[in-house]
């Protein structure tokens, strides 16, 4: 691998691509430290430091690569674009016009991308306003308290222009990140948008490791060792699951094109064990933090029937102590696990149906031995996908609830704070990091093989 990297830097064009990619990631990280117009940064830093461990802030901070803690113009990262892409993917089997674009080749894909960009604009504006409101609600702040962070935020006539400036700045930050990602894809190495997300997640490792300093010396040693072992084992399992696939044999009949006859040949359809990637974890985490967030908004001062109902919901979090709040603790992590498994099956079904594998096989004269074309083939592929997805869904569920598992291990071993080993770089972040590294190495290897260099293997 090191010799291959030396060979990559020895080739002038590859060296230029690698350095360009690194330069774009540095620019992105610099932009992530630019606060939005109108924010009182000192007040915000005081609020956020008091709310360390807040699951809403931690989740938003993960998605933005740490930009939320600076209330940066990049606080939304590229996720409005990711959301728009997922919406378009889910709508493609339903909307015939979108389905037709997939069959139009490059021009159809370009039109689909353009629609995704257009959809990103309103989603980014809505998410910018929603994110500011959610941050306030998650900290238990009233509207007046939010004004301490953003003194001129609101839709009153005198605050309208500053508010629009803030929302447009955050939307502009998202499109700047998308633009940097596209530049990396075209001029650098790897998938640009994925590398932007990768850079943000990796940047959170140093603050996460630094947080271990707050633990006592003995706990710090055990937590550090647990973090190293957990990371190595998790990465190994992620690679095995991510690269795992079930190959279904396909036979193509004899075909004639013009005066030439092509003999039948055998091939295979690779079905991945984890088709959904880390998307189910993000979906599940969004759903799981929603009820406590809404409950926090409606809780009022004093005692009332509504408050009695809402307070247990507001306390529904992974930070619950399993010794003093066992019901809340176990219910949270079991609910989270079930959501991840459910979303994995749902998203995998959508992705497989969108690929129209049986129809494409029939169009190209291919068939699965022993299965009739059409519905029998579709039913067989669906059954195989759901069977192998069980392993992928169980794997994602375990990755998602690792902090809860480590918290129980810490209690069993009498090592408080051991769950920090699973929070420095959580499961969703690890899946993204490993996937991006594998994809980037493959692209670099293909570039090297084109230049007759030995690859990484």
| DSSP conformation letters of 14-47 | HHHHHHHHHHHHHHHHHHTT-BPTT--HHHHHHH
Q: Of the candidates 320, 318, 314, which has an alpha carbon nearest to the alpha carbon of residue 337?
A: 318
Tell me phi and psi for residue 35, to 5 degrees: -70, 155
* CATH match of 1-204 with 3.40.250.10: no
- The residue ranking higher by pLDDT, 49 or 263, is 49
The mean of the pLDDT values for the chain is 79
Give the model's pLDDT for residue 168. Answer: 93
Indicate the domain borders of the chain.
1-204, 214-424
**pLDDT score for 176:** 93
Q: What is the per-residue pLDDT across 99-127, written as a single tens digit (0 to 9) for each?
A: 788 777 778 888 888 999 999 999 889 88
Q: Kind and range of the H or E element at 442?
A: helix 427-450
User: In which band, very low, low, confident or very high, does the pLDDT at 179 lie, cut at 50, 70 and 90?
Assistant: very high
User: Which of the four pLDDT bands, split at 50, 70 and 90, describes residue 90?
Assistant: confident
The answer to whether the 1-204 and 214-424 domains have the same CATH topology is: yes
- As a whole number of angstroms, the distance between CA 385 and CA 303 comes to 52
Cα within 13 Å of Cα(231), Cβ side: 18
What does 221-244 look like in DSSP terms, one character per residue? HHHHHHHHHHHHHHHHHHHHHHH-
Q: Which band of pLDDT confidence, cut at 50, 70 and 90, is reported for residue 452? A: low
- Give 220's pLDDT tier (boundaries 50, 70, 90): confident
* Burial (0-12, 13-18, 19+ Cβ within 10 Å), 72: buried
- pLDDT-based confidence at 82, cuts 50/70/90? confident
Q: In terms of pLDDT, which residue wins out, 325 or 20?
A: 20
* Predicted pLDDT at 171: 93
* pLDDT for residue 59: 67
Instruction: Give the model's confidence band at 263: pLDDT under 50 very low, under 70 low, under 90 confident, else very high.
Output: low
Rounded-to-10 torsion of CA 161, 71, 399, 80: 30
- pTM for this entry: 0.76
pLDDT in tens, 399-428: 888 888 888 888 887 777 677 776 667 766
Contact 99, 89 (CB under 8 A): no
Domain 214-424 sits in CATH 1.10.10.10: no
């Amino acid at each position: 691998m090191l010799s291959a990297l030396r060979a990559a830097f020895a080739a002038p064009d590859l060296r230029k691509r690698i350095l360009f990619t690194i330069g774009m990631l540095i620019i992105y990280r610099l932009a992530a430290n630019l606060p939005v117009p109108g924010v009182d940064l000192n007040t915000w830093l005081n609020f956020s430091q008091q709310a360390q461990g807040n699951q809403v802030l931690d989740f938003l901070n993960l998605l933005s690569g740490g930009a939320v803690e600076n209330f940066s113009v990049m606080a939304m990262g590229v996720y409005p674009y990711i959301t728009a892409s997922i919406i378009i993917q889910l709508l493609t089997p339903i909307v015939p016009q979108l389905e037709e674009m997939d069959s139009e080749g490059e021009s159809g894909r370009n039109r689909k991308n353009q629609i995704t960009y257009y959809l990103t604009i309103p989603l980014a504006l809505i998410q910018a306003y929603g994110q500011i409101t959610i941050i306030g609600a998650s900290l238990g702040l009233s509207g007046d308290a939010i004004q301490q962070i953003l003194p001129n935020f609101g839709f009153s006539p005198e605050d309208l222009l500053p508010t629009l400036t803030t929302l447009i700045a955050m939307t502009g930050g998202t499109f700047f990140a998308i633009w940097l990602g596209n530049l990396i894809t075209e001029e650098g190495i790897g998938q640009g948008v994925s590398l932007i997300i990768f850079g943000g997640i990796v940047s959170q490792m140093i603050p996460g490791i630094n947080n271990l300093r707050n633990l006592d010396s003995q706990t710090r040693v055990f937590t550090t060792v647990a973090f190293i072992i957990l990371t190595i084992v998790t990465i190994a399992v992620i690679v095995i699951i991510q690269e795992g696939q079930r190959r279904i044999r396909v036979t193509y009949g004899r075909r004639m094109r013009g005066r030439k006859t092509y003999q039948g040949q055998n091939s295979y359809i690779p079905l991945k064990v984890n088709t959904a990637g880390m998307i189910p974890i993000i979906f599940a985490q969004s759903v799981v933090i929603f009820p406590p967030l809404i409950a926090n908004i409606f809780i009022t001062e004093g005692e009332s029937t509504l408050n009695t109902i809402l307070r247990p919901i507001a306390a529904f979090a992974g930070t619950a102590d399993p010794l003093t709040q066992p019901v809340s603790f176990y219910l949270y992590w079991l609910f989270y696990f079930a959501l991840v498994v459910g979303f994995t099956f749902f998203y995998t079904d959508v992705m497989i149906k969108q690929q129209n594998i049986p129809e494409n096989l029939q169009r190209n004269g291919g068939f699965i031995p022993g299965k009739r074309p059409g519905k029998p083939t579709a039913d067989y592929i669906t059954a195989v996908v759901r069977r192998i997805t069980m392993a992928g869904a169980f794997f994602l569920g375990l990755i998602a609830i690792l902090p809860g598992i480590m918290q129980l291990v810490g209690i069993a071993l009498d090592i408080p704070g051991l769950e920090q080993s699973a929070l420095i770089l959580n499961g969703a972040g690890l899946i993204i990091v490993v996937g991006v590294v594998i994809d980037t190495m493959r692209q670099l290897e293909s570039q090297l093989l084109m230049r007759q260099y030995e690859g990484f293997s």
